[in-house]
């Protein structure tokens, strides 16, 4: 009975493939009953009837592969199953128990690189069950009670377009594709709470108590360069847009030491950034600090502040030689190396001057001059071929890149290089005690420089003019923004109108649109941080959003990323970003329909 069901289901699969996705149809692979019997004898596990029938059916042609992997002939089943037994034997010889990972009576029959499909051949109620094998977790036989049931479910999926293992079959350009299913049916919350606002209200009493008194203003620096033109201009956007800190309080010298670890061995400073020739006000502006009264925070204060608000913060001060510095001291789960190490941050910090960023835990360094990288250091970094490293000879002379150095010695050598080559002298006491501090909104990420549809979609769109494709994408992004609620912000609606009239950016971080996109991104990052904070035992859950609200923010961020890409990138590069945000398995057909509609309109 099971064999007949396998044969019938295999016929349905082949018929569907020939009609709808001929590229997914494979000619027959001839297998003899003797080969099947010999493989079973060599394994000491005879092939179950359903697997025997499937192996013979493949001789008549059919679907080239299952979603769980490419079907294997008896010799391949033999070799792969023996390999799994050898791996299990090695683990057992090392004293590890792996009975729930792989068993002598399992057969591996479909290969998906290191993963695949297996059949349970142990006597009992589970005999013949099909399971998904994962290299990390082993086999779980809750996928299907039999091979016949698995193939019947797959045939139903192809014939009806229903989901199979969370993916929807898509017949496109003669082939069979599997796209994630389900996300497009989840309606976001129309008006989610702002987690940033909720956490800010929670933190307000503590932060008001630590707010610094107005400063008398930054003092002239004889080595100060002129700031970037327009750097101090007020930002547009009204009360709804985040602004920036203007007043700074200078730290008094405190005893301490600049070291890279606390007593418990944890990294003390995630990232230290230095900028030459600007004052602390401008440093905060370039970092993206919010327009709130500045604080006087120690390192424990700033860690507590980040955990209260789930928004990154930075402490700043002045070093010798005309340099100012910024310290990030809470290892962010989203940017573990620190926001100061990001290219986008360094480009902005170094505008019209020079900026240096140090990632302390792993001792990495980037040096930027007026937006361009000129040097970097790190034991796992390779300098870009064809570009001169401004400090290559200095690094060689310092011995900084020698093997076998301890972190403490390497840090001392790095500090010496910064002092000799750049004039950066940071006093030992500068990072101890209270410093001026502020929360900041991370800068916009650069969109991907390149992305691709894949060969099939690229070929179908090859003759579509860029302007027509851009118009189709604009309609899709507008729909995303309206459906997610992103379009309710006036600056987003204005940007969509401008894009429709041909605007192609750039998006300034401080513009109303840039601030809005950064704030939306910060909302989703706060969701990630509150989970991290909760795992560490800090207060988190009482002000967490519900799942529907979280989904709404994720949808808004995806729409924001799609808009950002559409504004900055050529349409063929932006298109995959837009399609990713749409969460529909039918995005190919939808995009072709949009392009056709633009053409006919």
Return the pLDDT at 381: 53
Return the pLDDT at 211: 60
Residues 298-332: tens digit of each pLDDT: 989 999 999 889 999 999 999 988 999 999 988 88
pLDDT of 209 above 50:
yes
Domain spans of the chain, in order of start: 1-180, 271-439, 455-596
Which range is least confidently modeled, 37-41, 90-94, 204-208? 90-94
pLDDT of 202 above 90:
no
Task: Give the mean pLDDT of the chain.
Answer: 83
Return the pLDDT at 251: 39
Q: What is the pTM of this model?
A: 0.79
Burial of 14 (0-12, 13-18, 19+ CB in 10 A): buried
pLDDT interval class at 384 (50, 70, 90) = low
pLDDT of 240 above 80:
no
pLDDT of 496 above 80:
yes
pLDDT of 539 above 80:
no
In whole angstroms, give the CA distance from residue 12 to residue 496: 47
Return the pLDDT at 98: 59
Return the pLDDT at 250: 40
**Contact call for residues 549 and 193 (beta carbons, < 8 A):** yes
From residue 241, give the alpha-carbon distance in Å to each of 135, 490, 507, 518. Answer: 48, 11, 15, 10
SS3 track for 144-157: ECCHHHHHHHHHHH
Which range is least confidently modeled, 88-102, 136-150, 196-210? 88-102
Percent over 90 (pLDDT), the chain: 53
Helix, strand or coil for residue 80? helix
pLDDT interval class at 495 (50, 70, 90) = very high
Burial of 166 (0-12, 13-18, 19+ CB in 10 A): exposed
pLDDT interval class at 427 (50, 70, 90) = confident
**Listed residue (288, 285, 333, 314) closest to 431, CA to CA:** 314
Pairing of strands 372-377, 364-369: antiparallel
Tell the CATH superfamily of the 1-180 domain: SMI1/KNR4-like (3.40.1580.10)
Average pLDDT for residues 141-158, to the nearest whole number?
A: 96
Residues 242-269: tens digit of each pLDDT: 333 334 444 343 333 455 455 444 455 6
Which range is least confidently modeled, 233-237, 407-411, 504-508? 233-237
Residues 258-304: tens digit of each pLDDT: 554 554 444 556 799 999 999 999 999 999 999 888 899 998 999 99
pLDDT of 498 above 90:
yes
In whole angstroms, give the CA distance from residue 369 to residue 353: 6
pLDDT interval class at 459 (50, 70, 90) = confident
Return the pLDDT at 214: 42
pLDDT of 80 above 90:
yes
Helix, strand or coil for residue 78? helix
Return the pLDDT at 535: 58
Which range is least confidently modeled, 189-193, 351-355, 497-501? 189-193
**Contact call for residues 553 and 520 (beta carbons, < 8 A):** yes
Average pLDDT for residues 94-107, to the nearest whole number?
A: 74
pLDDT of 172 above 60:
yes
pLDDT of 99 above 50:
yes
User: Which tokens belong to 11?
Assistant: 């016929």
**Contact call for residues 131 and 120 (beta carbons, < 8 A):** yes
pLDDT of 221 above 70:
no
In whole angstroms, give the CA distance from residue 246 to residue 233: 11
Return the pLDDT at 466: 92
pLDDT of 215 above 90:
no
Average pLDDT for residues 485-493, to the nearest whole number?
A: 96
Q: What are phi and psi of 155, to 5 degrees?
A: -65, -40
Return the pLDDT at 458: 84
Which range is least confidently modeled, 128-132, 176-180, 445-449? 445-449
Residues 8-17: tens digit of each pLDDT: 999 999 999 9
pLDDT interval class at 386 (50, 70, 90) = low
pLDDT interval class at 597 (50, 70, 90) = confident
In whole angstroms, give the CA distance from residue 275 to residue 351: 10
Return the pLDDT at 188: 66
Return the pLDDT at 429: 77
pLDDT interval class at 237 (50, 70, 90) = very low
Return the pLDDT at 394: 73
């Amino acid at each position: 009975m099971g064999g007949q069901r396998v044969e019938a289901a295999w016929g349905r699969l082949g018929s569907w493939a020939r009609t709808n996705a001929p590229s997914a149809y494979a000619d027959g692979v001839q297998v003899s009953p003797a080969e099947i019997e010999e493989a079973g004898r060599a394994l000491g596990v005879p092939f179950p009837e359903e697997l025997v029938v499937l192996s013979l059916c493949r001789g008549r042609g059919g679907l080239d592969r299952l979603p769980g992997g490419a079907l294997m002939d008896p010799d391949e089943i033999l070799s792969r199953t023996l390999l799994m037994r050898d791996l299990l034997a090695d683990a057992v010889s090392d004293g590890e128990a792996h009975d729930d990972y792989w068993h002598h009576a399992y057969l591996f029959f479909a290969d998906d690189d290191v993963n695949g499909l297996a059949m349970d051949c142990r006597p009992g109620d589970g005999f013949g069950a099909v399971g998904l094998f994962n290299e990390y977790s082993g086999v779980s036989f809750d996928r299907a009670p039999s091979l016949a049931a698995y193939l019947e479910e797959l045939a139903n999926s192809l014939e009806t377009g229903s989901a199979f293992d969370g993916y929807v079959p898509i017949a496109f350009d003669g082939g069979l594709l599997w796209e994630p299913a389900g996300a497009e049916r989840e309606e976001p919350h129309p008006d989610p709470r702002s987690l940033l606002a909720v956490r800010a209200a929670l933190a307000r009493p503590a932060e008001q108590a630590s707010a610094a008194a107005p400063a008398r203003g930054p003092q002239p620096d004889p080595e100060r360069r002129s700031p970037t033109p327009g750097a101090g201009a007020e930002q547009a956007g009204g009360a709804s847009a985040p602004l920036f800190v203007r007043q700074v309080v200078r730290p008094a010298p405190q005893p301490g030491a600049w070291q890279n670890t606390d007593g418990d061995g944890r990294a003390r400073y995630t990232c230290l950034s230095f900028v030459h020739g600007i004052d602390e006000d401008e440093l905060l502006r370039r970092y993206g600090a919010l327009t709130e009264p500045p604080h006087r925070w120690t390192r424990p204060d700033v860690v507590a502040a980040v955990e209260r608000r789930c928004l990154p913060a930075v402490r700043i001060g002045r070093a010798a030689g005309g340099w100012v510095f910024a310290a990030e001291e809470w290892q962010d789960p989203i940017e573990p190396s620190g926001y100061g190490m990001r290219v986008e941050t360094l480009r902005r910090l170094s505008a019209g001057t020079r900026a240096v960023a140090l990632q302390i835990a792993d001792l990495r360094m980037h040096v930027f001059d007026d937006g361009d990288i000129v040097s970097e250091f790190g034991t796992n970094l390779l300098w870009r071929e064809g570009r001169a490293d401004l400090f290559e000879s200095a690094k060689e002379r310092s011995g900084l890149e020698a093997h076998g150095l301890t972190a403490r010695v390497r840090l001392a050598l790095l500090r010496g290089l910064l002092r000799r080559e750049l004039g950066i002298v940071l006093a030992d006491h500068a990072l101890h005690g209270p410093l001026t501090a502020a929360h900041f909104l991370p800068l916009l990420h650069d969109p991907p420089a390149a992305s691709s549809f894949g060969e099939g979609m690229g070929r179908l769109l090859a003759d579509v003019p860029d302007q027509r494709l851009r118009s189709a994408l604009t309609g899709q992004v507008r729909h995303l923004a309206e459906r997610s609620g992103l379009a309710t912000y006036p600056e987003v609606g204005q940007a969509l109108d401008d894009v429709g009239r041909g605007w192609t950016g750039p998006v300034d971080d401080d513009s109303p649109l840039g601030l809005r996109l950064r704030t939306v991104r910060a909302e989703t990052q706060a969701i990630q941080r509150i989970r991290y904070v909760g795992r560490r035992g800090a207060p988190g859950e009482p002000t967490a959003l519900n799942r529907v609200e979280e989904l709404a923010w994720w949808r808004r961020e995806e729409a924001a990323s799609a808009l950002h890409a559409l504004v900055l990138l050529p349409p063929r590069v932006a298109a995959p970003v837009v399609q990713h945000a749409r969460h529909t398995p039918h995005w190919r057909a939808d995009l072709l329909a949009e392009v056709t509609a633009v053409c006919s309109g």
